Structure 1
Amino acid sequence: MTTPLHPVSRRRLLGLGLGAAAGLALAGCGDDDAGPSTAGNGGKDYTGPKVSLNLWNGFTGGDGDIFKKLVDQFNAEHANIALTVATYKWEDYYAKLPGAVSSGNGPDIAVMHMDQLATFAARKVIQPVDDVAGALGLTESDFAATVWKGGMYGGKRYGIPLDMHPVGLYYNKALFKQAGLDPQKPPADRAEMEAALTALKGAGIQGFWISPFQFTGGMTGYSLIYQFGGSLYNDDATKAAFNSDPAVEAVSWLAKLVADGHSPANVGQDADYLALKSGKNAFNVNGIWQVNDLKKSPDVQWGVAPVPQIGTKKAVWANSHNFTVVQQKKTDANKVAGAKVFINWLSQHSLDWAAGGQVPARRSVLDDPKFGELKEVGTLAAELPDAAFPPAVPGVGDVTALFYTAFNEAILGKKPVKQALDDGVAKADKLLEDNRKKYGS
């Protein structure tokens, strides 16, 4: 379960855990307070009897290797805590977790994306970790505000942020040279991008393959909607907004690249990234996690840069991994205390985690000179002030999936852009209303 079918498949649902809320039943475990908040001392240390803990995650690629090394280090340093890791593809992970918890076979610790926290908190699958934040001395000033607030639900904290992962612009330097472009100067704005695409087309190269799938065309479209001044939702995520004039303009710009021959008309899943590696595609907007994969391909001449500003402002899709403590049918205070020790420990070792191709969530780590040595990761870390994180409301992953479906229809030409987005918003608003009834918010 830890080996991906190919380098990018492990990430197909990383961004939003699509389908996580579909058919999700109440976990039905623990009390209404979702577990004790006094087990241990918030992760500062653990002096109780030896406990065995299970941790679930979706780190199936190179980041998984780094993660397992860190777990081994933790186990070596903590004789009274034995941590075992289970790794699943994200799409399986979110579907599997609620049933496992309900049957009493869930993990003790779960890694979860920021936009999934509210869903699983509402379903009492995870329990509050306010005391861990207190033990670490963490406050909003330590993080990007959206990431810190994204861990809250119902006035309680359910997630401790581990990292942030934006998308960036990967480019093929060999194709730049072939088209007479400077391989040290990737495009930074719309004019430069369009000029580069014209030069590439003149050299017989379709320079920017636009995938109709979430990975990664949909995430490109998501980024550009915010760049053009739009958003996927209104301020409190009670209404969808991805059919606004700015959203239509953003998606139309990408659709026109296909119409103008800068991209094949029907790009397969992951084909945009594979074409970049094989020297057929000059540009690919993809996640920061691809840095380590490309480093495994020494024959590929590549670079990475922030996503160009195509619209009126800078903006880029990003998400965040969080640690959570899972609710159990019968609470074991020692296990809860041990789980919090691990979360505390790894949060303090997030610079080591950055080697897995993630941006540490804590500002203090970002300022560490050692982080500056991670050149490619640092390049994309610079985007984070402009990050457009998904909203942290229950069930939002399934709603955002409707945007990706609408984007797919628009890019494939199944519907005019405006109609595709209008149809998607109508469905999204209905689902948002259903979610408010389902989750009581």
Structure 2
Amino acid sequence: MTRTVKMLSVMMLASSLVLAAGCSGNNGGNEGGANNGAANGGENAGTNAGTNAAEGSGESEVAEKADILFWTPFSGADGEFMKKIVEKYNSAQDTYKVKLVIQPNGEYYKQLDVALSAGKERPDLAIMHVDQIPTYQNKGQLQPMDDLAGAAGINKADYVEAPVNYETIEGKWYGIPLDIHPLVMYYNKDLFEKAGITAPPTNRAEFDAAVEKLTDKDKKIYGYVVPTLWPQQFIFPSLVWQNGGELWNGTDVAYNSPEAVEMVQWMRGLVDKGVSPANVQQDGENTLFLQGKNAIQFNGPWMKGQFDEAGINYGVAPVPQIGKAKQAVYGGSHNFVVPKDVTDAAVIKGIGDFLKYVSTNSMDWAASGQALASKPMLESAEFQALEMQSNVAKSFDYVQFAPNVLNWATISDPIWGELSSALLGKKDAQKAMDDAVAKSRQAMKK
């Protein structure tokens, strides 16, 4: 998967100088400024995007060319945005070629497991969700990014702390973050205006008052439709943390605590009050939002494209602090990782070059609705001009990820069925969470 260009011999030095001089006048024309390190953050001007000459040294070196196989799970509309980034990088220089492969999202980790275990057709670079990194690192399938990042001029300080801290394991950095996608609040501006509400709610009192005003039972318009399934995986943890509870107490699952149970009761209470319909099925809250019959929805940044296409007059704001203890919100994060078995020096250098480029050239990814994890991008005027994405980034100071526990997805899976039973009124909240804890403890023993 790599192609090697031999170093020019001394006898060809004169010819190479002529060629270098002839090409140097075209560097400024590269789209995205891939060869212009100073324009893209100042650092690493000598290595960014495959610099081919040692300027002013009187000598010329040709870097080893390499193909880089890059896997992502972006099989939805977001795939086109990543494709643009890769295409721009490839057209901006000719030393490295990134080959983008989009795997089906639902099968992504199964495919990745097979590739990493078999060692055949495995990627050189892959996207991995931040909460998967500890498990894959523990299996010895990832390599630290510290040396690669250092050689490329990529610094931890240039990224939002939350994902960097999470993926730094035993002092080594195993992932470079692309974005953070926390739970956010979408609201229907037309319904808010009709109800006389001038600003999105920021706390429980404001939220409870708003959803009462927004509900029109005669027209079957609801203030907040409580989802009973997805995206509770983002909502429930946010509420538990806000209320001072934990999903994991350091040694055991803890989602049957009084703090957690109270939040389940609060959600069910919205149904009992009639501000949410009962028996909401999968995606029911989203269907009603699209129909203009659900005033508020908690969901992720990935919904932007769908809402834009539907022509909804919506706003985006941080999730209100519903709990009594603190502001907190559950989030995910896409990260770049490198499999342990990638050892080709040219490939590794090319990966670093690509990631350095992405760190200051990822506005196409922001256009997908994602809030970027690179601080230079977050602070740029171009990003700040994006109303939704800049609002999403406001929660980065208090975003939290899934507990840093091996196989957490399997351990926590019983929550969602039991929570659904409680929200549908089939089980008492305390009973449902006790049952979830019991099932999770059984899963930990397997």
TM-score by length of 2: 0.80
Q: 8 Å contact 1:56–1:87 — kept in the other structure?
A: yes
Verify: 1:81 aligned to 2:93, yes or no: no
Report 1:13-412 matches (<5 A): 45=50, 48-103=63-118, 104-135=120-151, 137-138=153-154, 140-178=156-194, 180-182=195-197, 184-202=198-216, 204=218, 205-213=221-229, 215-234=230-249, 236=250, 238-298=251-311, 300-312=312-324, 313-328=326-341, 331-412=343-424
Deviation digits for residues 364-421 of structure 1 (CA, Å, limit 9, x no counterpart) = 3322222210111111211111212223332122223233333222212332111111
Cα distance in structure 2, aligned partners of 1:211 and 1:75? 43
Q: 8 Å contact 1:43–1:337 — kept in the other structure?
A: no
Q: Which amino acid aligns with 1:87?
A: I
Where does structure 1 lack aligned partners over 5 or more consecutive residues? 1-40, 435-441
Cα distance in structure 1, aligned partners of 2:410 and 2:49? 37
- Displacement, 1:335? 2.4
Distance 1:387 1:58, change over 3 A: same
- Displacement, 1:430? 4.3
Aligned partner of residue 127 in structure 1, secondary structure: coil
Cα distance in structure 1, aligned partners of 2:371 and 2:328? 17
Determine the structure 2 residue equivalent to 1:437.
Answer: none
Q: Which amino acid aligns with 1:162?
A: L
Q: 8 Å contact 1:42–1:131 — kept in the other structure?
A: no
Match of 2:435 among 417, 423, 426: 423
Root-mean-square deviation (CA), in Å? 2.4
Kindly indicate whether structure 1 or structure 2 has the higher relative contact order, using CA contacts under 8 Å at least 6 residues apart.
1
Cα distance in structure 1, aligned partners of 2:370 and 2:151? 24
Distance 1:409 1:135, change over 3 A: farther
Q: Which amino acid aligns with 2:339?
A: V
Q: 8 Å contact 1:232–1:242 — kept in the other structure?
A: yes
Deviation digits for residues 93-115 of structure 1 (CA, Å, limit 9, x no counterpart) = 01211112222122111101110
- Displacement, 1:137? 4.8
Aligned partner of residue 187 in structure 1, secondary structure: coil
Cα distance in structure 2, aligned partners of 1:232 and 1:318? 14
Q: 8 Å contact 2:359–2:377 — kept in the other structure?
A: no
Q: 8 Å contact 2:192–2:214 — kept in the other structure?
A: yes
Aligned partner of residue 128 in structure 1, secondary structure: coil
Q: Which amino acid aligns with 1:115?
A: D
Q: 8 Å contact 2:49–2:354 — kept in the other structure?
A: no
Determine the structure 2 residue equivalent to 1:10.
Answer: none
Aligned partner of residue 355 in structure 2, secondary structure: helix
Aligned partner of residue 210 in structure 1, secondary structure: coil
Q: Which amino acid aligns with 1:66?
A: F
- Displacement, 1:170? 0.6
Distance 1:126 1:242, change over 3 A: same
Aligned partner of residue 59 in structure 1, secondary structure: coil
After superposing the two structures, state which structure 1 stretch, 202-211 or 159-168, moved more. Answer: 202-211
Distance 1:433 1:343, change over 3 A: farther
After superposing the two structures, state which structure 1 stretch, 199-208 or 118-127, moved more. Answer: 199-208
Which is higher, the Rg of structure 1 or of structure 2?
2
Q: 8 Å contact 2:148–2:348 — kept in the other structure?
A: no
Aligned partner of residue 110 in structure 1, secondary structure: strand
Q: Which amino acid aligns with 2:100?
A: V
Cα distance in structure 1, aligned partners of 2:101 and 2:307? 26
Deviation digits for residues 80-132 of structure 1 (CA, Å, limit 9, x no counterpart) = 32222222343310121111222212211110111001111222332221113
Cα distance in structure 1, aligned partners of 2:253 and 2:47? 38
Q: 8 Å contact 1:325–1:340 — kept in the other structure?
A: no
Deviation digits for residues 321-361 of structure 1 (CA, Å, limit 9, x no counterpart) = 11011244x74333233223222221232344322211221
Aligned partner of residue 284 in structure 1, secondary structure: strand
Count of matched residue positions in the alignment of Structure 1 and Structure 2:
387
Distance 1:266 1:89, change over 3 A: farther
Distance 1:345 1:392, change over 3 A: farther
Q: 8 Å contact 1:406–1:423 — kept in the other structure?
A: yes
Aligned partner of residue 100 in structure 2, secondary structure: strand
Q: Runs of 4 or more off by more than 6 Å in structure 1?
A: 41-44
Cα distance in structure 1, aligned partners of 2:64 and 2:262? 60
